[in-house]
Amino acid sequence: MTCIGILSICFSIAYVDINSDLGATFEINNDKFGVSELYPTANNGETWFFNSSHPMDGQFDPNKANISRNSDGSWHVEPGITRMLAFTKSSGYLSDAIRSNLTTYNYSQLSQIGYWYKPSDWKNVEITGYFKPLTTEGYNDTSLVSRSVRHSTNVNDGCGGSSYHNNIGIGNGTFRFKKEMWHVDYMITPYYNTSIGSIMNKWTGFKGIIYNLANNSLKLESYVDKDANNKWIKVAKLVDNGNWGNDMMHCGARTEGAVISWGSPMIIFKSDFVTYDFKNLSIREIIPPK
Protein backbone atom coordinates (compact mmCIF):
# COMPACT_ATOMS: atom_id res chain seq x y z
CA MET A 1 0.00 0.00 0.00
CA THR A 2 1.16 3.50 -0.86
CA CYS A 3 0.35 6.57 1.24
CA ILE A 4 0.63 10.25 0.45
CA GLY A 5 1.13 11.97 3.77
CA ILE A 6 0.15 15.55 2.96
CA LEU A 7 -3.22 14.52 1.58
CA SER A 8 -3.69 11.59 3.99
CA ILE A 9 -4.62 9.43 1.03
CA CYS A 10 -3.74 5.74 0.84
CA PHE A 11 -4.31 3.44 -2.07
CA SER A 12 -3.70 -0.12 -3.16
CA ILE A 13 -4.82 -2.12 -6.13
CA ALA A 14 -8.29 -2.82 -4.79
CA TYR A 15 -8.95 -0.06 -2.27
CA VAL A 16 -8.65 3.70 -2.08
CA ASP A 17 -9.23 5.86 0.98
CA ILE A 18 -11.69 8.31 -0.55
CA ASN A 19 -12.94 9.61 2.80
CA SER A 20 -9.65 10.09 4.61
CA ASP A 21 -11.28 12.68 6.85
CA LEU A 22 -13.65 9.93 8.07
CA GLY A 23 -11.13 7.09 8.12
CA ALA A 24 -13.36 4.96 5.87
CA THR A 25 -12.34 2.76 2.95
CA PHE A 26 -14.42 1.62 0.00
CA GLU A 27 -13.94 -1.26 -2.40
CA ILE A 28 -13.35 0.08 -5.88
CA ASN A 29 -15.08 -1.21 -9.00
CA ASN A 30 -14.14 -0.22 -12.53
CA ASP A 31 -16.55 1.26 -15.05
CA LYS A 32 -16.92 0.20 -18.69
CA PHE A 33 -13.76 2.18 -19.58
CA GLY A 34 -11.77 0.44 -16.85
CA VAL A 35 -11.77 3.61 -14.73
CA SER A 36 -12.26 3.36 -10.96
CA GLU A 37 -15.68 4.21 -9.58
CA LEU A 38 -14.96 5.84 -6.23
CA TYR A 39 -18.58 5.70 -5.10
CA PRO A 40 -21.05 2.95 -6.02
CA THR A 41 -23.70 3.64 -8.64
CA ALA A 42 -27.18 4.15 -7.20
CA ASN A 43 -29.77 1.45 -7.88
CA ASN A 44 -31.60 2.49 -11.04
CA GLY A 45 -29.57 5.71 -11.01
CA GLU A 46 -29.01 7.57 -14.25
CA THR A 47 -25.66 7.02 -15.94
CA TRP A 48 -24.00 8.27 -19.12
CA PHE A 49 -20.79 7.19 -20.83
CA PHE A 50 -19.35 9.03 -23.81
CA ASN A 51 -19.69 6.97 -26.98
CA SER A 52 -16.40 7.45 -28.80
CA SER A 53 -17.70 5.88 -32.01
CA HIS A 54 -21.08 7.62 -32.08
CA PRO A 55 -21.12 10.62 -29.69
CA MET A 56 -24.53 11.88 -30.80
CA ASP A 57 -26.39 9.33 -28.70
CA GLY A 58 -29.42 11.45 -27.83
CA GLN A 59 -27.82 12.53 -24.54
CA PHE A 60 -24.63 14.30 -25.62
CA ASP A 61 -24.63 17.78 -27.14
CA PRO A 62 -21.27 19.38 -28.12
CA ASN A 63 -23.20 22.65 -27.95
CA LYS A 64 -21.39 24.25 -30.91
CA ALA A 65 -17.97 23.07 -29.73
CA ASN A 66 -15.78 22.09 -32.67
CA ILE A 67 -14.89 18.47 -31.88
CA SER A 68 -13.27 15.77 -34.00
CA ARG A 69 -12.15 12.17 -33.45
CA ASN A 70 -8.46 11.35 -33.10
CA SER A 71 -6.92 8.22 -34.62
CA ASP A 72 -6.53 6.64 -31.16
CA GLY A 73 -10.26 6.98 -30.40
CA SER A 74 -9.95 10.03 -28.17
CA TRP A 75 -11.57 13.31 -29.22
CA HIS A 76 -10.21 16.77 -29.93
CA VAL A 77 -11.72 20.15 -29.01
CA GLU A 78 -10.74 23.33 -30.81
CA PRO A 79 -10.34 26.45 -28.64
CA GLY A 80 -13.37 28.57 -27.85
CA ILE A 81 -15.91 29.08 -25.12
CA THR A 82 -16.89 25.42 -24.96
CA ARG A 83 -19.80 24.12 -22.93
CA MET A 84 -20.33 20.48 -23.87
CA LEU A 85 -23.54 19.08 -22.39
CA ALA A 86 -24.63 15.61 -21.28
CA PHE A 87 -28.24 14.85 -20.34
CA THR A 88 -29.90 12.05 -18.42
CA LYS A 89 -31.33 9.29 -20.54
CA SER A 90 -34.83 9.90 -19.18
CA SER A 91 -34.73 13.55 -20.21
CA GLY A 92 -32.95 13.12 -23.52
CA TYR A 93 -31.68 16.16 -25.38
CA LEU A 94 -33.29 19.29 -23.93
CA SER A 95 -33.22 22.36 -26.14
CA ASP A 96 -32.54 25.85 -24.87
CA ALA A 97 -36.24 26.57 -25.34
CA ILE A 98 -37.32 23.68 -23.10
CA ARG A 99 -34.78 24.53 -20.41
CA SER A 100 -35.95 28.16 -20.53
CA ASN A 101 -39.57 27.27 -19.83
CA LEU A 102 -39.58 24.91 -16.86
CA THR A 103 -42.18 24.96 -14.09
CA THR A 104 -40.19 27.13 -11.69
CA TYR A 105 -36.85 28.85 -11.26
CA ASN A 106 -37.57 29.83 -7.67
CA TYR A 107 -34.91 28.35 -5.40
CA SER A 108 -37.20 27.89 -2.40
CA GLN A 109 -39.63 25.92 -4.53
CA LEU A 110 -36.83 23.91 -6.14
CA SER A 111 -35.43 22.96 -2.74
CA GLN A 112 -38.85 21.49 -1.91
CA ILE A 113 -39.36 19.78 -5.29
CA GLY A 114 -35.79 18.43 -5.38
CA TYR A 115 -35.13 18.64 -9.13
CA TRP A 116 -35.27 20.91 -12.16
CA TYR A 117 -36.94 18.59 -14.68
CA LYS A 118 -37.66 15.06 -13.44
CA PRO A 119 -37.17 13.02 -10.25
CA SER A 120 -34.48 11.09 -12.17
CA ASP A 121 -32.33 14.24 -12.56
CA TRP A 122 -28.68 13.87 -11.52
CA LYS A 123 -28.25 14.99 -7.91
CA ASN A 124 -25.53 12.99 -6.15
CA VAL A 125 -23.05 12.45 -8.96
CA GLU A 126 -19.56 11.31 -9.83
CA ILE A 127 -18.35 13.05 -12.99
CA THR A 128 -15.21 11.71 -14.64
CA GLY A 129 -13.05 12.61 -17.61
CA TYR A 130 -9.53 12.37 -18.95
CA PHE A 131 -8.15 15.55 -20.47
CA LYS A 132 -4.99 16.44 -22.40
CA PRO A 133 -4.67 20.23 -22.80
CA LEU A 134 -2.60 21.23 -25.82
CA THR A 135 -2.80 25.03 -25.87
CA THR A 136 -4.39 27.67 -23.68
CA GLU A 137 -4.81 31.42 -23.85
CA GLY A 138 -3.77 32.66 -20.43
CA TYR A 139 -4.31 30.76 -17.19
CA ASN A 140 -7.52 28.79 -17.57
CA ASP A 141 -9.42 25.99 -15.87
CA THR A 142 -11.38 22.99 -16.99
CA SER A 143 -14.65 22.78 -15.07
CA LEU A 144 -17.18 20.07 -14.29
CA VAL A 145 -20.49 21.86 -13.73
CA SER A 146 -23.48 20.34 -11.95
CA ARG A 147 -27.03 21.25 -10.81
CA SER A 148 -27.74 23.97 -13.37
CA VAL A 149 -30.22 23.98 -16.23
CA ARG A 150 -29.94 27.18 -18.30
CA HIS A 151 -27.09 29.68 -18.26
CA SER A 152 -28.53 32.87 -19.70
CA THR A 153 -28.90 36.35 -18.28
CA ASN A 154 -31.97 36.81 -20.47
CA VAL A 155 -33.94 33.87 -19.03
CA ASN A 156 -35.64 34.07 -15.64
CA ASP A 157 -33.17 36.68 -14.36
CA GLY A 158 -30.32 34.21 -14.76
CA CYS A 159 -31.81 31.83 -12.19
CA GLY A 160 -31.38 28.74 -14.35
CA GLY A 161 -27.66 29.06 -13.75
CA SER A 162 -27.47 27.82 -10.16
CA SER A 163 -24.51 25.45 -10.12
CA TYR A 164 -21.40 24.04 -8.51
CA HIS A 165 -18.10 23.88 -10.39
CA ASN A 166 -15.19 21.50 -9.72
CA ASN A 167 -12.19 23.17 -11.35
CA ILE A 168 -8.69 22.06 -12.30
CA GLY A 169 -6.17 24.71 -13.36
CA ILE A 170 -4.27 23.85 -16.51
CA GLY A 171 -1.12 25.88 -15.93
CA ASN A 172 -0.03 24.35 -12.63
CA GLY A 173 -2.57 21.67 -11.76
CA THR A 174 -4.27 23.44 -8.88
CA PHE A 175 -7.87 23.07 -7.75
CA ARG A 176 -10.75 25.25 -6.64
CA PHE A 177 -14.54 25.30 -6.39
CA LYS A 178 -17.12 27.77 -7.61
CA LYS A 179 -20.72 28.29 -6.61
CA GLU A 180 -22.74 30.07 -9.27
CA MET A 181 -25.62 31.64 -7.37
CA TRP A 182 -27.24 32.69 -10.61
CA HIS A 183 -25.97 33.55 -14.09
CA VAL A 184 -23.69 35.38 -13.73
CA ASP A 185 -22.83 35.77 -10.02
CA TYR A 186 -20.14 33.59 -8.42
CA MET A 187 -18.60 32.69 -5.11
CA ILE A 188 -15.10 31.32 -5.76
CA THR A 189 -12.65 29.66 -3.41
CA PRO A 190 -8.93 30.41 -3.65
CA TYR A 191 -6.88 27.70 -5.32
CA TYR A 192 -6.05 24.96 -2.83
CA ASN A 193 -2.41 24.49 -1.83
CA THR A 194 -2.44 21.08 -3.46
CA SER A 195 -0.75 21.12 -6.87
CA ILE A 196 0.16 18.35 -9.30
CA GLY A 197 2.09 20.61 -11.66
CA SER A 198 1.18 21.57 -15.20
CA ILE A 199 -1.23 19.23 -16.97
CA MET A 200 -0.32 20.56 -20.42
CA ASN A 201 0.39 17.93 -23.09
CA LYS A 202 -0.32 14.95 -20.81
CA TRP A 203 -3.35 12.86 -20.00
CA THR A 204 -4.81 13.64 -16.59
CA GLY A 205 -7.90 12.12 -15.01
CA PHE A 206 -10.24 14.47 -13.14
CA LYS A 207 -13.30 13.63 -11.06
CA GLY A 208 -15.86 15.99 -9.61
CA ILE A 209 -18.11 14.48 -6.94
CA ILE A 210 -21.07 16.25 -5.37
CA TYR A 211 -23.64 14.94 -2.93
CA ASN A 212 -26.17 16.10 -0.38
CA LEU A 213 -25.56 15.38 3.28
CA ALA A 214 -28.16 14.32 5.84
CA ASN A 215 -28.00 17.64 7.68
CA ASN A 216 -29.17 19.62 4.63
CA SER A 217 -25.63 20.62 3.70
CA LEU A 218 -23.68 19.52 0.64
CA LYS A 219 -20.17 18.23 -0.07
CA LEU A 220 -17.92 18.79 -3.06
CA GLU A 221 -14.87 16.59 -3.67
CA SER A 222 -12.26 16.66 -6.42
CA TYR A 223 -9.94 13.77 -7.32
CA VAL A 224 -7.15 13.48 -9.83
CA ASP A 225 -5.37 10.63 -11.63
CA LYS A 226 -2.22 12.63 -12.28
CA ASP A 227 -0.32 9.91 -14.15
CA ALA A 228 -3.32 8.44 -15.99
CA ASN A 229 -2.73 5.05 -14.36
CA ASN A 230 -6.07 4.82 -12.54
CA LYS A 231 -4.59 5.86 -9.17
CA TRP A 232 -6.95 8.49 -7.79
CA ILE A 233 -6.13 10.90 -4.98
CA LYS A 234 -8.39 13.40 -3.27
CA VAL A 235 -7.06 16.90 -3.89
CA ALA A 236 -9.83 19.21 -2.66
CA LYS A 237 -13.03 19.13 -0.64
CA LEU A 238 -15.59 21.66 0.57
CA VAL A 239 -18.81 21.52 2.57
CA ASP A 240 -21.54 24.05 1.79
CA ASN A 241 -23.48 24.46 5.02
CA GLY A 242 -25.83 27.04 3.55
CA ASN A 243 -23.63 30.01 4.35
CA TRP A 244 -21.59 30.13 1.15
CA GLY A 245 -22.96 32.99 -0.89
CA ASN A 246 -24.43 36.47 -0.69
CA ASP A 247 -27.11 36.67 -3.39
CA MET A 248 -29.17 33.47 -3.57
CA MET A 249 -32.27 35.44 -2.56
CA HIS A 250 -32.08 37.03 -6.02
CA CYS A 251 -33.79 33.81 -7.16
CA GLY A 252 -36.14 33.34 -4.22
CA ALA A 253 -33.95 31.37 -1.83
CA ARG A 254 -34.72 31.78 1.85
CA THR A 255 -31.15 32.77 2.69
CA GLU A 256 -28.35 34.42 0.75
CA GLY A 257 -26.08 31.38 0.99
CA ALA A 258 -28.69 28.64 0.48
CA VAL A 259 -27.49 25.21 -0.62
CA ILE A 260 -28.22 24.24 -4.24
CA SER A 261 -29.81 20.97 -3.15
CA TRP A 262 -31.85 20.09 -6.25
CA GLY A 263 -30.92 17.80 -9.11
CA SER A 264 -30.44 18.62 -12.77
CA PRO A 265 -30.88 16.70 -16.04
CA MET A 266 -27.66 18.25 -17.37
CA ILE A 267 -23.92 18.25 -16.67
CA ILE A 268 -21.51 20.68 -18.37
CA PHE A 269 -17.91 20.06 -19.41
CA LYS A 270 -16.64 23.63 -19.52
CA SER A 271 -13.49 25.37 -20.75
CA ASP A 272 -12.53 28.79 -22.11
CA PHE A 273 -10.03 29.14 -24.96
CA VAL A 274 -8.36 25.79 -24.36
CA THR A 275 -7.42 23.29 -27.07
CA TYR A 276 -7.53 19.79 -25.65
CA ASP A 277 -8.13 16.10 -26.25
CA PHE A 278 -10.59 14.16 -24.10
CA LYS A 279 -11.73 10.60 -23.49
CA ASN A 280 -13.66 8.39 -21.06
CA LEU A 281 -16.20 11.01 -20.02
CA SER A 282 -18.87 9.63 -17.70
CA ILE A 283 -21.55 10.64 -15.21
CA ARG A 284 -23.15 8.39 -12.63
CA GLU A 285 -25.79 8.92 -9.95
CA ILE A 286 -24.08 7.58 -6.84
CA ILE A 287 -24.91 6.32 -3.38
CA PRO A 288 -23.40 8.99 -1.11
CA PRO A 289 -21.80 8.11 2.21
CA LYS A 290 -24.02 8.29 5.28
Residue 20 has a pLDDT of 53
Alpha carbon separation from 15 to 10, 18, 24, 32, 42 (Å, rounded): 8, 9, 11, 18, 19
Residue 139 has a pLDDT of 78
How many Cβ atoms are within 10 Å of 13's Cβ, its own excluded?
A: 9
Nearest-5° Cα angle at 47, 178 to 145: 15
The per-residue DSSP string of the chain comes to: -EEETTTTEEE-SSEEEEETTTTEEEE-EE-TTS-EESSPBPTT--EEE--SS---SSSEE-TT--EEE-TTS-EEE-SSEEEEEEE-TTT----HHHHTS-S---HHHHHHH-BSS-TTSB-SEEEEEEEEEEEESSS-EEEEEES-----TTSGGGGGG-EEEEEEETTT-BEEEEEEEETTEEEEPPPPS-B----TTS-EEEEEEEEE-TTS-EEEEEEEETTSSS--EEEEEEEE-S-S-S-GGGGT-SSTT-----BBSEEEEEEESEEEEEEEEEEEEB----
* DSSP letter, residue 90: T
Q: How many CA atoms lie within 13 A of 200 on its CB side?
A: 11
Which residue segments constitute the domains of the chain, with CATH numbers given?
Answer: 45-285 (2.60.120.560)
CA distance 13 to 263: 33
Contacts with 225 (C-beta within 8 Å, 6 or more apart), sequence order:
130, 204, 205, 206, 207, 231, 232
Nearest-5° Cα angle at 126, 195 to 103: 120
State the pTM of this model.
Answer: 0.92
Residue 290 has a pLDDT of 81
10-residue mean pLDDT profile of the chain (290 residues): values are: 33 37 55 97 98 98 98 97 98 98 98 98 98 93 98 97 98 97 98 96 98 97 97 97 98 98 98 97 95
CA distance 275 to 231: 25
